Structure 1
Amino acid sequence: METYTLMRHFADSWGLVAMVLFFLGVVVFIFRPGARNAAHQAAFIPLKED
């Protein structure tokens, strides 16, 4: 089996699963209970005076 064909089969099967799991992990990380305060603080970083 050629390398291209092997990589394509891997990307079609497990690559999709990995991308979906990564996406769900990011969504859970963003919408966790403590994220609102952290996002609010990060939003005002450029406006802080040194």
Structure 2
Amino acid sequence: MDLEHATLVRLSKSFGLFYLIALSIITVVYAYWPSNKKAFDRAAKSVLRNEYGPWR
């Protein structure tokens, strides 16, 4: 079985495409999973906590 450069490039690009699509789907599912809501809300509000005004 002789694999040419073009064949390997096509396979790697296809694998990379499907890998990034799967990673994006996993990330979105994790972000919208109901049990993670509390942690994300706490993280969003922690940025505003202890803010008294502009930094001098």
Q: Name the TM-score, length of structure 1 as normaliser.
A: 0.69
In the comparison of the two structures, how many residue pairs are matched? Answer: 45
Unaligned runs of 5+ in 2: 51-56
Tell me: higher relative CO, structure 1 or 2? Use CA pairs within 8 A at least 6 residues apart. 1
Q: Residue 18 of structure 2 aligns with which residue?
A: 17
Q: Name the TM-score, length of structure 2 as normaliser.
A: 0.63
Unaligned runs of 5+ in 1: none
State the distance in 2 between where 1:28 and 1:46 align.
Answer: 24
Q: Residue 37 of structure 2 aligns with which residue?
A: 36
After superposition, the C-alpha distances for 1:1-49 in whole angstroms (9 at most, x for unaligned) are 45xx44x4212x1011100100110011011111211111001112333
Identity %: 24
Larger Rg: 2
| Runs of 4+ more than 6 Å apart | none
Note the aligned Cα RMSD (angstroms): 1.5
